[in-house]
Chains A and B, each alone.
Chain A
Amino acid sequence: MPLSFEDMLDEFRALGGVADNIALKEGRFGRGLFAADPERPVRLHVPEALLVETVNVAFENGALRIAPGVAMGARAKAFVEAYEQEFSWGPGRRHTEHLLGLFREAPAPLRALLAQPFNTDAWLVEPTPKTVQDRFIGSRAIRYRGRAVLMPMMELVNHGHAGRYETENGITLSGRFAGELLAAYEICDPLRLFNKWGFACSGEPMALSLAMRVDTRSGPIVVERGEVQLDPARRPFYPDVRNENGVLKLSYLMLGHMNYPRLAKGNFYRILRDAGRSEAEETFDKIQHVNRLQFYKLIAASEDASPELARLLRDMARYQLEALSCSVGVREV
């Protein structure tokens, strides 16, 4: 018998979960969680005992199962499997299959562009049961204490910037939400969100450079697309910088930020100054230019794709371009 949302909540609570003032509804991003009463605070907490490491997930006859031998109570295991069937993997696999199918049918030049320089490889695989499962897991897992885990209930929260996850003895989202409960999946840009989760998200405040090598008169620079570490001890959005055989390597490079428009150049000019490199302004302009051109190309190449995929890719490209554009002036870093 299908598990109703209310029954599922009851069992979730019985297993130590907290779900106060929560309702399931259709929103801007599809199905999501909302405050049942927007006037009152919301609290959603998934205890550690219900977080399932992705390495412990298996698929049997199309159903998501927790692998035997996992230190998890039988009731918790039954709950997670029923939850996945009814609310997550069950409905989610069809969407993932559909999306992989759209990418498979895309014209060859578009697929080539998505592969390089956008590194959208994960969506370019042949849609088989295995790849659908991998994509599903890839798009649902979150890092928790260095492990990739599935977080039942919490994963119904769509991506946005209205709230923040807390990771203390489980995963918690709390606060007041005027509309849908939204929380940032990761600190990243529209391209990375798209590559990982397969959706285009507006309102991402910043954009990172594509991975690239740029040759300047004062030496080559390699920009990677590593993770953004927002450690309070570090300068905001300042990448790891190293010099390897005369090549200046940056773990990532922020090129624009809606809330800190002077920061992108501030950081970059500082990196080049510290490295004894000249021509910071021209090099920054070049990196921006190369990035922008790739997204213009993507918009043009999308014209020959199916309308649904073309729209998705255009939306993502627009959001990335908007964020890239937020570099105005420079500040001392």
Chain B
Amino acid sequence: MALSFEDMLDEFRALGGIADNICIKQGRFGRGLFPVDPAKPARVGAPDHLLVGTDHVVFENGALRIGPGSGLSAREKAFIEAYEQEFSWGPSRGELAELLEMFAAAPPELRAVLDKPLNVDGWLAEPNDKAVQERFFASRAANYNGRTVLMPVVDLVNHGSTGTYLSGGGGVGVEGTFSGEVLAGYQLGDPLRIFARWGFASPEPLGLSLAMRAESGSGPIAVKRSPIRRATNRMLYPDVSLEDGVLVLSYLLLGHRDYPRLPKANFYRIMRDAGRGDDAEEAFDKIQHINRVQFVRLIRACEGAAPPLACLLREVGCLQLEALSNYAGTVDI
């Protein structure tokens, strides 16, 4: 018998989960969690013992099962398997398979752009069971205390900027007062990074450079797309090193909706510290230009794709271009 949302929540609470003032509805991003009473705080939290390491997950006849050795009780195991079947893996697998099929059928020119320089490799795999399972883990699992885990119920929260995940020794959750859907930021990244992992288009406040090597008048610069580490002293400032005359940046912020002077400020500082200050303005322009051209290329390459995929990728391209465009002037840092 199918598990209703209310029955599922009852069992979730009985197993130590928190689900206060939440219901499930269709929203802008498909199915998601909403506050029952938007005036009151909403809270959802999965306790530590319900966070299942993906290494304990197996797939049997299309169903997600918890393998032996997970340390879960029979009741917890039954809950998670039923939850996954009804609310997470069950409904997601078809959507993921469909998306992978569309990517597989995309024109070679489009697949080539997605592969390099956009590095959207995860979506270019052969659409088989293994690829669908991998995409599911990539989009549903989170890093928790050094482990990659599934987060029952919490994974129903869609991505957005209204809330943040609370993660500690006791589990993972989201809480706050939400006028509409309960949303939380999956990751600090740009539209491309969000798309590469989760497969949807999302407006983000910042735009990062593609990984590239740029030859500038003062010498080569290599930009990576490593994860953003939150530094206490300077905001969105990458790790910088000099390797055989190449200035290597762990990532590079090129645009920020809320801090439009920051991208150039950071980059000019990096260049000044490297003794390349005179070349900073032109090098920044060049890196911006190279980035923009790639996303314009993406939009061009979408013309031959199936309409739903073309529309999705054009939206990603435009959102990334918009995020990249948010820079104006500089400030001394």
Q: Which residues of A contact B (CB under 8 A)?
A: 261-262, 279, 281-282, 285-286, 288-289, 292-293, 296, 299-300, 303, 311, 314, 318, 321-322, 325-330
Say whether A286 contacts B314, CB under 8 Å.
no
Is B286 part of the contact surface with A, judged by Cβ < 8 Å? yes
Q: Which residues of A contact B318 (CB under 8 A)?
A: 296, 299-300
Say whether B296 contacts A289, CB under 8 Å.
no
Residue of B nearest to A303 (CB): B311
Residue of A nearest to B263 (CB): A285
Q: Which residues of A contact B293 (CB under 8 A)?
A: 322, 325
Q: Which residues of B contact A300 (CB under 8 A)?
A: 314-315, 318
Instruction: Kindly provide the distance from the CB of B202 to the nearest chain A CB, expressed in whole angstroms.
Output: 14
Q: Which residues of B contact A322 (CB under 8 A)?
A: 293, 296
Instruction: Kindly provide the distance from the CB of A88 to the nearest chain B CB, expressed in whole angstroms.
Output: 30
Given A281-B330, A289-B328, A314-B299, residue A329 in contact with residue B311 (CB < 8 A): no
Q: Of A292, A293, A296, A330, which one neighbours B281 at CB under 8 angstroms?
A: A330
Number of B interface residues at 8 Å Cβ cutoff, please give it: 26
Q: Of A289, A299, A327, which one neighbours B314 at CB under 8 angstroms?
A: A299
CA–CA, A314 and B297, complex, Å: 12
CA–CA, A318 and B311, complex, Å: 15
Given A281-B330, A292-B321, A296-B318, residue A326 in contact with residue B299 (CB < 8 A): no
Say whether A282 contacts B328, CB under 8 Å.
yes
Q: Which residues of B contact A318 (CB under 8 A)?
A: 296, 299-300
Residue of B nearest to A307 (CB): B307
Say whether B322 contacts A328, CB under 8 Å.
no
Say whether A282 contacts B325, CB under 8 Å.
no
Additional pairs, 13, CB under 8 Å, beyond known A289-B328, A296-B325, A303-B311: A262-B282, A281-B281, A282-B328, A289-B260, A296-B318, A299-B299, A299-B314, A321-B321, A325-B292, A327-B285, A328-B282, A329-B281, A330-B282
Say whether B321 contacts A296, CB under 8 Å.
yes
What does the 1/0 interface line of B300-323 toward A look like (CB < 8 Å)? 100100000001001100100110
Say whether B328 contacts A292, CB under 8 Å.
no
Q: Which residues of A contact B296 (CB under 8 A)?
A: 318, 321-322, 325
Given A281-B329, A289-B328, residue A329 in contact with residue B285 (CB < 8 A): yes
